[in-house]
């Protein structure tokens, strides 16, 4: 029997009816009609404050959305996720990124095995590695201490560590042997080539981060890196006693769910870190894949990041739906996408340290929920993940905010900012300037969400404005405030979005933990590469692709 889909249920229908009236209501009317909206729609947890008052909803909307969440069995789904049920149904396994941030005294028995001891054993191995680097004891093949670590990975094996390393740069440990951490992901080798041109092979180590250890982007960068090391460290005129085995041993660490493939590639067993099949790539920064983070900020701060995420996990499990931050953030998104027709979502951090946060969320949200088939294989009859993109808010003000204010698209925005910054800068004059810049940034953050909400009404004016200067407002937004940007609040922020994605997937009845949609492109790329490289029979290609391949051949001939 075919199960009715969520849009056929009573809660969805009630929301659809209710939306008729709400669509015609401007945000400014909602504010005019209800004092205390900020208090009524603001919730706090784990160092985060979420203000949802600038969403185009009222108390009745929220009640109906909470009914929808209950009808979609969100509370049961949260329990199933956190207890390790096989929620990733197409791949028949649990999705246990939350296990990676359980404290050592916890226990999580899944299918007969307590996962916590092995999670912490890996953290301890990471710690030993990090300590060796920071003590200047991890030496390259010629005996010099490693100074530069380049992470080679892509997608979840790059974006999470890159984003966090950048966000927590202020937390670099002092008084230890300095190690600079770099990231190269692009398959064209351009990022890697840049590092190879300026780094010293004697003091450079590569971390090969790949859950599958089959990703061509990462493996092609890894081959280039290996050949660069071999060419520079061995051979004529080079140091005695440096051989390929020593180079492999001292200059590579591997993080993968496939120890066999790491062994085949030549990574020493002692320099491999485990990646469990039950952790999805885009949810993996909390374990071995986080090694670059730990190298950059130290293991104590990495553990703080885990603790912050765990605090949010606890809130997610225990808070009632109406106070549950991930649930509320998810419901705001559902309301926009499915009932108000707002199908674009912009992520706008007002803090330069969060430069890569939007890129990270693009993968987390769109690779997770860019799906159109339910768990039992029915095509969905409603929209799922919106198009999500973003940039640092202050810079985006000078780039795409024009569209937010006067374009034809309805866009939901997430404004993200820390409340306190720079209070620990030592020089008082610089501190005053920087704190002033921080207040300027906060003012812009608050002003933009207000302008997007109210439009022209945000400013009192004498006569009417000419049409080209008008702002219609009514763009919904959420504002997320962090007391400070610390490892703990960052951990909570990331976990908040992970769980938001899960709640939305639960309501849409899709699997957020697989990514079959990326496979077709990989397969076709393999065939195209064979033709391109070997000048094979191009006639099997469509006319456009044939033309493009021939253009590449012609350019190579010169």
CA separation (Å) from 13 to 64, 110, 468? Answer: 10, 38, 38
Q: Which of residues 218-247 bind ligand F6P (CB under 6 A)?
A: 218
Nearer to ligand F6P by Cβ, of 210 and 336: the residue is 210
As a whole number of angstroms, the distance between CA 332 and CA 338 comes to: 10
Cβ atoms 16, 339 nearer than 8 A: yes
- Can residue 282 be called a binding residue for ligand F6P (CB under 6 A)? yes
- Can residue 515 be called a binding residue for ligand F6P (CB under 6 A)? yes
Single out the residue of 155, 292, 349, 476 in contact with ligand F6P (rule: CB under 6 A): 155
Closest distance of CB 68 from ligand F6P, Å: 29
Cβ atoms 42, 50 nearer than 8 A: yes
Residue 311 tokens, joined: 């605090």
As a whole number of angstroms, the distance between CA 407 and CA 17 comes to: 28
Single out the residue of 43, 56, 134, 211 in contact with ligand F6P (rule: CB under 6 A): 211
As a whole number of angstroms, the distance between CA 167 and CA 68 comes to: 36
Site string for ligand F6P, 321-360 (x = CB under 6 A): ----------------------------------------
Residue 406 tokens, joined: 């006067």
Cβ atoms 161, 225 nearer than 8 A: no
- Can residue 281 be called a binding residue for ligand F6P (CB under 6 A)? yes
Q: What is the DSSP string of 60-100?
A: HHHHHHHHHHHHTTHHHHHHHHHTT---BTTTTB---GGGG
Residue 385 tokens, joined: 């993940």
Single out the residue of 53, 98, 157, 204 in contact with ligand F6P (rule: CB under 6 A): 157
Closest distance of CB 489 from ligand F6P, Å: 25
DSSP category for residue 337: I
Closest distance of CB 511 from ligand F6P, Å: 13
User: Is 522 annotated in the active site?
Assistant: yes
Single out the residue of 185, 210, 272, 397 in contact with ligand F6P (rule: CB under 6 A): 210
As a whole number of angstroms, the distance between CA 157 and CA 218 comes to: 9
As a whole number of angstroms, the distance between CA 200 and CA 208 comes to: 18
- Can residue 287 be called a binding residue for ligand F6P (CB under 6 A)? no
Nearer to ligand F6P by Cβ, of 218 and 397: the residue is 218
Interface segment toward ligand F6P; rule CB under 6 A; list 149-157, 228-236, 407-415, 525-533: 149-157
Nearer to ligand F6P by Cβ, of 148 and 367: the residue is 367
- Can residue 53 be called a binding residue for ligand F6P (CB under 6 A)? no
Residue 76 tokens, joined: 């049961």
Nearer to ligand F6P by Cβ, of 108 and 373: the residue is 373
Size of the site for ligand F6P (CB under 6 A): 14
Single out the residue of 84, 94, 156, 349 in contact with ligand F6P (rule: CB under 6 A): 156
Among the listed residues 398, 460, 519, 534, the single catalytic one is: 398
- Can residue 518 be called a binding residue for ligand F6P (CB under 6 A)? yes
Interface segment toward ligand F6P; rule CB under 6 A; list 79-87, 119-127, 211-219, 468-476: 211-219
Q: What is the DSSP string of 252-315?
A: EEEEES-HHHHHHHT--GGGEEE--TTS-GGG-TTTGGGHHHHHHH-HHHHHHHHHHHHHHHHH
Which neighbouring-strand residues pair with 417? 481
In terms of Cα–Cα distance, which of 400, 405, 551 is closest to 474?
405
User: Is 398 annotated in the active site?
Assistant: yes
Nearer to ligand F6P by Cβ, of 91 and 457: the residue is 91
- Can residue 97 be called a binding residue for ligand F6P (CB under 6 A)? no
Enumerate the active-site residues. Answer: 367, 398, 522
Binding site for ligand F6P (CB under 6 A): 154-157, 210-212, 215, 218, 281-282, 367, 515, 518
């Amino acid at each position: 029997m075919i199960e009715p889909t969520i849009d056929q249920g009573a809660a969805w229908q009630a929301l659809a009816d209710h939306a008729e009236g709400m669509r015609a209501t401007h945000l400014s009317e909602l504010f005019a009609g209800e004092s205390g909206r900020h208090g009524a729609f603001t919730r706090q947890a784990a160092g985060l404050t979420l203000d949802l008052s600038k969403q185009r909803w009222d108390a009745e909307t929220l009640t109906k959305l909470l009914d929808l969440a209950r009808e979609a069995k969100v509370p049961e789904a949260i329990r199933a996720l956190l207890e390790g049920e096989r929620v990733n149904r197409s791949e028949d396994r649990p999705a246990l990124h939350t296990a990676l941030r359980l404290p050592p005294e916890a226990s999580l028995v899944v299918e007969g095995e307590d996962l916590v001891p092995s999670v912490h054993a890996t953290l301890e191995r990471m710690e030993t590695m990090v300590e060796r680097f920071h003590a200047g004891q991890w030496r390259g093949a010629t005996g010099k201490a490693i100074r530069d670590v380049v992470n080679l990975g892509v997608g979840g094996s790059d974006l999470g560590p890159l984003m966090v390393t950048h966000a927590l740069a202020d937390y670099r440990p002092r008084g230890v042997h300095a190690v600079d951490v770099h990231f190269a992901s692009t398959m064209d080798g351009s990022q890697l080539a840049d590092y190879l041109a300026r780094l010293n092979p004697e003091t450079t180590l590569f971390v090969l981060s790949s859950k599958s250890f089959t990703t061509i982007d990462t493996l092609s960068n890894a081959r280039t890196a290996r050949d660069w090391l071999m060419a520079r460290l061995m051979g004529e005129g080079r140091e005695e006693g440096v051989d390929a085995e020593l180079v492999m041993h001292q200059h590579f660490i591997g993080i993968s769910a496939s120890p066999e493939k790491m062994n085949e590639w030549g990574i020493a067993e002692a320099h491999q870190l485990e990646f469990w099949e039950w952790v999805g790539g885009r949810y993996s920064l909390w374990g071995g894949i986080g090694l670059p983070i730990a190298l950059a900020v130290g293991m104590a701060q990495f553990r703080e990041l885990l603790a912050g995420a765990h605090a949010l996990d606890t809130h997610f499990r225990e808070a009632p739906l109406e106070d549950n931050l991930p649930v509320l953030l998810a419901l705001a998104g559902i309301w926009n996408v499915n009932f108000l027709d707002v199908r674009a979502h912009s992520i706008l951090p007002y803090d330069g340290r969060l430069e890569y946060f939007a890129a990270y969320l693009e993968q987390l949200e769109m690779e997770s929920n860019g799906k159109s088939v339910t768990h039992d294989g029915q095509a969905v009859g409603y929209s799922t993940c919106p198009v999500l993109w973003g940039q640092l808010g202050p810079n985006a003000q000078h780039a795409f905010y024009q569209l937010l204010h006067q374009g034809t698209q309805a866009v939901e925005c997430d404004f993200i900012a820390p409340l306190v910054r720079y209070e620990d800068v030592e020089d008082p004059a610089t501190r005053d300037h920087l704190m002033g810049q921080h207040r300027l940034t906060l003012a812009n953050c608050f002003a933009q969400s207000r302008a997007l909400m109210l439009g022209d009404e945000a400013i009192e004016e004498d006569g009417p404005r000419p049409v080209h200067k008008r702002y219609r407002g009514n763009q919904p937004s959420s504002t997320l405030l962090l007391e400070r940007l610390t490892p703990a609040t960052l951990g909570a922020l990331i976990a908040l979005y992970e769980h938001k994605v899960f709640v939305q997937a639960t309501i849409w009845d899709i699997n957020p933990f697989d990514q079959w949609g990326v496979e077709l492109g990989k397969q076709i790329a393999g065939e195209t590469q064979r033709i391109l490289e070997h000048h094979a029979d191009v006639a099997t290609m469509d006319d456009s692709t044939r033309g493009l391949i021939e253009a590449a051949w012609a350019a190579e001939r010169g």
